[in-house]
Amino acid sequence: MKTLFLIMSFIGSSWWLMVSNTAGIKGTITDANDGSAIPFAKIQLFTGGNSVTSTVTDVSGNYYMKSLPAGKYTMKVMCVGYDNFSQSAFTLADGEQKVINMKLKASTQKLEEVEVREFKSSVSRDYAKCESGSAYNMSIATVGDMPYVDYNTENYDVVNENNFKDAVGNPLSTFSIDVDRASYSNVRRFLTTNQMPVKDAVRIEELINYFDYNYPQPKDDKPFSVNLEGGPCPWNPAHQLVMIGLQGKKVETENIPNGNLVFLIDVSGSMGSANKLPLLKQTLKILIDNLRDEDRVAIVVYAGAAGCVLESTPGSKKERIREALDQLQSGGSTAGGAGINLAYKIAKENYIPGGNNRVILATDGDFNTGASSDAEMVRLIEEKRKDGVYLTILGYGMGNYKDSKMEQLSNAGNGNYYYIDNIMEGNKVFGKELWGTLFTIANDVKIQVEFNPNKIKGYRLIGYENRLLNKEDFNNDQKDAGEIGSGHTVTALYEIIPANSEETIPGVDPLKYQKQQVVTSSEYMTVKIRYKTLGEATSKLMENILKDSHFTTKNSINFNLACSVAEFGMMLRNSEHKGQATWKNVKELAYNGKGEDSDGYRSEYIKLVETAELLSK
């Protein structure tokens, strides 16, 4: 105990030395009465009335918020048993580091009917060398029935929306396709609990791609068809929209190779609530019900440590797989890195050449022991994908949900990413769309669009901010990109400024040493797509041209739905590019894009729009 005390004292006194000098805020939260440190206090930072980030103090009452942009902020501190404290507005200059210490007064409010049960706790310590910019990370691992205090520490990567680019100076737009749909179901979770979603939880391309579009199936040996359509921009009458739609070939179940699946399940203490581990089990049971006899499943769990609870088992033994799943209980800290290593090891040991080899990671993303930083986890996944094992990530829960980490991991691991907010979403992912979720038909799919300045003055890609590539990446077969599953659709929208527009686009000064020459052409743009067929290391090229004939004033159901969802996303984000967007217009487009709607997803979407409209007032 004496040794542990000395270690903790050293950490408490020297934590300032272990954080980087990046712009940020740091300080200590103490008791106003006796000056003692207050651990596990929540610090929330606001700007313009919106929460931008939050953190929790460590065992010495210290906190640190790094990589903050310049601006005006207010801070709120909360802790059970203390009165909330709000820091008056302050300004953070670019590159500045502020020290803000605060004292909390003990609350005079009486707490009643608090049941305390016997519990054990263990302290987990990671003495690994700190990376630059990292603070020492100590976590209290929960074992047994320790009461759980639910601080809201959800985390999302900042999404800086794409701006307009001029077609002369920037004729190429390059990005990786994205079939992730997590953002839509997460936004739905916010709205159905009567909250507007956090701005950066809204990734517009994932909202658009949540829906299947009735593009035609490919007619040749290509893995997907390419569909182009243009029309007026609903939120800016002076602009046009261009839709690029890919339709993956639907592979019949009997033609899909045998599966080698490893369930990697987070059973840490944070997974105990009903919308986490219990919902996770029900979701995976849907997948188990749809396994074929020749498919195989192993189950790996991780909490304070990782372990295999079910060896690779054939799909014919469904009851045995269900029993192993039913026995899982939550408790302990979260050694995500150890779990990932073990899951990939088992997947490699049972690897099926030419088969469907995949790790399915189910978690709230709150890794806190072992390899836990985003950079460490991404590098780990990038290394593991070389074994030819794909990755599917299932996100669960709220309050401590780490969306940013899971999105990065799925992008790094030849994967797809879903947020499971209810059992119906679980059925959509592993029931109705099972093999689209689990079986990839095209790898490293990249799109590069060349715009013709004779027709187009400027353009803006709507969404895909986290999927942008350098123009040189398009022809680089070593550059990782997105995957398309069986029957999947991918849709992208460009907002176009016509060439005859008087609108100005911010740009750079004319080049001094080069002359730019524009070739006369009646084409609007050329859409190039590179992809790899399964098992191939060299990409193939597809090329399509957008012409006048693709534009119409009576657009398709697909076009109307995509426009509605894009406008919906811009309204939720309060985008600077939303123009004349209104909730009324979003709903009208949604009704025009409803179509047959046999599964009811588009009707549900209309209800979400109505909910958002009411909450926005």
Q: Is 64 in contact with 136 (CB distance < 8 Å)? A: no
C-alpha pair distances (Å), 489 with each of 218, 251, 351, 441: 12, 13, 28, 12
The pLDDT confidence band at residue 335, using thresholds 50, 70 and 90, is low
Q: What pLDDT score does 372 carry?
A: 54
Q: What pLDDT score does 317 carry?
A: 97
Residue 140: pLDDT over 60: no
Q: Which residue has the higher pLDDT, 366 or 579?
A: 579
Tell me how far apart the alpha carbons of residues 21 and 132 are, in angstroms, rounded to a whole number. Answer: 9
Q: What pLDDT score does 373 carry?
A: 64
Tell me how far apart the alpha carbons of residues 171 and 179 are, in angstroms, rounded to a whole number. Answer: 25
The pLDDT confidence band at residue 582, using thresholds 50, 70 and 90, is very high
Q: What pLDDT score does 66 carry?
A: 79
Q: What pLDDT score does 386 carry?
A: 83
Find the farthest-apart pair of alpha carbons in the chain and give their distance in angstroms, rounded. Answer: 80
Residue 103: pLDDT over 60: yes
Tell me how far apart the alpha carbons of residues 377 and 340 are, in angstroms, rounded to a whole number. Answer: 9
Q: What pLDDT score does 452 carry?
A: 97
HSE-CB for 224 with a 13 A CA cutoff: 35
Could you tell me which of 525, 507, 524 has the C-alpha nearest to residue 516? Answer: 507
Residue pLDDT, tens place only, 292-317: 999 999 999 988 667 899 999 999 99
Residue 574: pLDDT over 70: yes
The pLDDT confidence band at residue 547, using thresholds 50, 70 and 90, is very high
Residue 122: pLDDT over 50: no
The pLDDT confidence band at residue 22, using thresholds 50, 70 and 90, is low
Per the structure block, which two tokens stand in for 104? 């909390």
Return the HEC string of 374-412. Answer: HHHHHHHHHHHHHHCCEEEEEECCCCCCEHHHHHHHHHH
Considering the chain, what is the average pLDDT of its residues?
A: 85
Q: Which domains does the chain have, with CATH numbers?
A: 15-119 (2.60.40.10), 165-251+441-501+521-615 (2.60.40.1230), 255-434 (3.40.50.410)
The full length of the chain comes to 617
189-193: average pLDDT: 95
Residue pLDDT, tens place only, 407-455: 888 888 788 999 999 999 999 999 999 999 999 999 999 999 999 999 9
How many other CB atoms are there within 10 angstroms of residue 421's CB atom?
24
249-277: average pLDDT: 92
Percent of the chain with pLDDT over 70: 86
Q: Which residue has the higher pLDDT, 49 or 594?
A: 594
569-598: average pLDDT: 97
Helix and strand element counts for the chain (H, E): 13, 26
How many other CB atoms are there within 10 angstroms of residue 306's CB atom?
19
C-alpha pair distances (Å), 551 with each of 15, 593, 611: 60, 17, 33
Could you tell me which of 116, 76, 70, 114 has the C-alpha nearest to residue 96? Answer: 70
Tell me how far apart the alpha carbons of residues 373 and 382 are, in angstroms, rounded to a whole number. Answer: 14
Residue 208 φ then ψ, to 5°:
-60, -45
Residue 479: pLDDT over 80: yes
Q: What pLDDT score does 110 carry?
A: 40
Tell me the pairing of strands 119-125 and 138-144. Answer: antiparallel
C-alpha pair distances (Å), 250 with each of 244, 254, 292, 434: 19, 12, 18, 12
Q: What is the DSSP letter of 468?
A: B
CA quadruple 64, 69, 71, 73: dihedral positive or negative?
A: negative
Tell me how far apart the alpha carbons of residues 364 and 268 are, in angstroms, rounded to a whole number. Answer: 10
The pLDDT confidence band at residue 242, using thresholds 50, 70 and 90, is very high
Per the structure block, which two tokens stand in for 398? 């709220």
DSSP string, 126-150: --SPPPTT----EEEEEEES-----
* Predicted TM-score (pTM) of this structure: 0.76
Q: Which residue has the higher pLDDT, 420 or 140?
A: 420
Tell me how far apart the alpha carbons of residues 6 and 313 are, in angstroms, rounded to a whole number. Answer: 48
Q: Which residue has the higher pLDDT, 592 or 78?
A: 592
Q: What pLDDT score does 17 carry?
A: 34
Residue 136: pLDDT over 80: no
Residue pLDDT, tens place only, 60-95: 788 888 778 888 888 888 876 678 787 778 888 888
39-67: average pLDDT: 78
Return the HEC string of 48-98. Answer: CCEEEEEEECCCCCEEEEECCCCEEEEEEEECCCECCEEEEEEEECCCCEE
Tell me how far apart the alpha carbons of residues 256 and 235 are, in angstroms, rounded to a whole number. Answer: 43
259-286: average pLDDT: 93
Q: What pLDDT score does 57 carry?
A: 80
**Helix crossing, 277-289 with 318-326: angle to 10°?**
180
Per the structure block, which two tokens stand in for 287? 């997948």
Residue pLDDT, tens place only, 384-402: 888 889 999 999 998 888 8
Q: Is 37 in contact with 61 (CB distance < 8 Å)? A: yes
Per the structure block, which two tokens stand in for 302? 């991780």
Q: What pLDDT score does 150 carry?
A: 44
275-291: average pLDDT: 95
Residue 1: pLDDT over 70: no
Q: What pLDDT score does 41 carry?
A: 77
Residue 134: pLDDT over 80: no
Give the residues across from 333 on adjacent strands.
none
Residue pLDDT, tens place only, 489-508: 999 999 999 999 999 998 88
Could you tell me which of 412, 500, 451, 453 has the C-alpha nearest to residue 244? Answer: 451
Tell me how far apart the alpha carbons of residues 482 and 487 are, in angstroms, rounded to a whole number. Answer: 15
